[in-house]
Amino acid sequence: MKIIIDGKAYQCEKGEYVLQVARRNNIYIPTLCHSDALSGLGSCRLCVVEVVDRGRAKVVTSCIFPITSEVEVVTNSTKIQKIRKDLLVLLQARCPENEEINKLAKSFGVEEERVNRFKLDKTENCVICGLCVKACEEMGTGAISTIDRGVFKAISTPYGDPSPQCIGCAVCANVCPTNAIPVIDKDGEREIWGKKFKLQKCEECGKEFATEDHVKFAFAKAGVKSEKILCEECRRKSSLDKMKNAFPKVEL
């Protein structure tokens, strides 16, 4: 079937999300909490577009709005622009010193005076998009979650204590769009979410490349064992050596 985006028609399948179709056709719709791998959150509302269905226009989030009929989509009307700008005013008021939010806010033309009217917490970086929680859930560890409700909502481990489930893989920090999760690797240790982990040293070269808990988790999940725990580079060196020595005279 087809839908019209900003006046032009595009092919799509029933059930596809508007954002998917837009990206496929090089139409820009800003996002913050969207990730193809961890989809469906719909919490930032930045990807809103207007959908005209049977003469009535409604504002929906393109990341989770399924196409069920041949509708018309407007991605950048004045109404939408205003919504996005207001959202960024609020986000910047929440995280005034966050670099990623600042970049976004600037691109939408957010006025500083509006933000400065409010009480600002210069230490806040989290926008509670929920990506970290979902990623940890997908990992199978589920060490963090949202706590409390309303304006008090926050991301935390149970009771704020070091979580027994956390393996220090830092996938949460990887998916976080605002770099809000500090991961401190220092002196052979990693600290994340208030828990300290021993970093795995490569048995060959001594390089620290992951937490010991993550390595254990990985091997257990894969169902394999290894005599020596090596970093990627040393494993490649070992491959190279094996290839050199295995078939000295064989022509490949």
Residues numbered 140-179 forming contacts with other proteins, rule: CB under 8 A? 140, 146, 148-153, 169, 171, 174-175, 177-179
**N- to C-terminal Cα distance for the chain?**
51
73-76's contacts with Cβ under 8 Å and 24+ in sequence apart are: 73/3, 73/4, 73/5, 73/6, 73/18, 73/22, 73/49, 74/6, 74/49, 74/50, 75/5, 75/6, 75/22, 75/27, 75/28, 75/29, 75/49, 76/6
Q: Which two tokens stand for residue 245?
A: 């020595």
Q: Using CB under 8 A, which of 21, 139, 155, 181 touches other proteins?
A: 139
Q: Which of 94, 143, 163, 195 lies at the binding interface for other proteins (CB under 8 A)? A: 94
Maximum Cα interatomic distance, the chain, rounded to a whole number of Å: 77
Closest distance between other proteins and the C-beta of residue 111, in Å?
Answer: 11
Should residue 227 be labelled a site residue for other proteins when binding is judged by CB under 8 A? no
Taking CB under 8 A as the criterion, the residue among 70, 86, 97, 112 binding other proteins is 86
CB-based contact 92:111 (threshold 8 Å): no
Pick from 6, 45, 191, 212 the residue near other proteins by CB under 8 A: 45
Query: How far is residue 169 CA from its own chain's centroid?
Result: 14
Residue 88 Cβ vs other proteins, minimum distance, rounded to whole Å: 9
Is residue 201 a contact residue for other proteins (CB under 8 A)? no
User: Which listed residue (3, 5, 12, 61) binds other proteins by CB under 8 A?
Assistant: 61
232 lies in the site for other proteins, by CB under 8 A: yes
Nearer to other proteins, 11 or 174 (CB): 174
Q: How far, in Å, CA of 169 to CA of 103, rounded?
A: 28
* Stretch in the footprint of other proteins (CB under 8 A) among 3-11, 124-132, 156-164, 190-198: 124-132
